[in-house]
Amino acid sequence: MNEGYRDILNSIGSSRPTPGGGSVAALSLAHAHSLATMVSRLTLKSDKWSDGHEIANLIVQQSVDRIDDSISLAERDAAAFDAVMAAYRLPKDDDSNIRSDSIRQATIGAALTPLEILRASHLLLNDLLKLSHHCNANALTDLAASAELAHSAAKIAQMNVKINTQYISGNDVDSIDHDTEIVIGKCDEKMLHLRSIYTERLGW
């Protein structure tokens, strides 16, 4: 591990509020993509796992973009939280609704980014479920690690949506909350299925 990696961990561990949980969720997703790519490459190395080659090829082809997207989401989550803090620092003595409107819009923005992380986590879990049946058996624990990381990213993202929407209201907020519950339900369902497959194949 190089110093750049340690710098990221030190930044997360500092007393500053960002990068926080949402950014960590996105970075966890990036790690999940990396592990999924490794499992896919190991699957592609042998015709023994030919039934898994199609989904493995797709995961490898998408990996660079999806890892880049995950890192971008980590940066956007931190920026969205900073925007909320900036809105709260606006003057309170203004007769207009500029401050309250700014806070509301910034808070919605801070909820939308983790919702994107949640949706991206679901996409990876869906691919991992397809891969799990026919991936290289020697890499099953790595596939399991990828899935658990993606699911953790989804759960953290869900919490970060909720913390931002619970104090505001409106049809847009209701839509965000509804979509969040739908997607996390799908993630939980796929994770249960994944666990049953990799534990069965491992003989656990």
Residues 114-126: pLDDT tens digits?
999 999 999 999 9
DSSP state of 96: S
Q: Which of 161, 81, 75, 84 is nearest to 115 (CA)?
A: 161
pLDDT confidence bin for 94, thresholds 50/70/90: low
Q: Domains of the chain: which residue ranges? A: 19-202
Residue type, 46: S
Q: Is 26 exposed, middle or buried (0-12, 13-18, 19+ CB in 10 A)?
A: buried
How many degrees, rounded to 5, is the angle at CA 49 between CA 47 and CA 151? Answer: 150
Query: What are the E-state strand segments in 58-150?
Result: none
Mean of pLDDT values over 22-29: 97
Distance separating alpha carbons of residues 28 and 78, to the nearest angstrom: 15
Distance separating alpha carbons of residues 101 and 12, to the nearest angstrom: 30
Residue type, 53: H
- The pTM of the full predicted model, rounded to 2 decimals, is 0.94
pLDDT of residue 81: 94
The pLDDT tens digits for 151-185 are 999 999 999 999 999 989 999 999 999 999 999 99
Total residues belonging to the chain: 204
Q: For the domain bounded by 19-202, which CATH number is listed?
A: 1.20.120.680
Number of H helices, E strands in the chain: 6, 0
Is the separation of the CB atoms in 146 and 39 below 8 Å?
A: yes
The pLDDT tens digits for 44-88 are 999 999 999 999 999 999 999 999 999 999 999 999 999 999 999
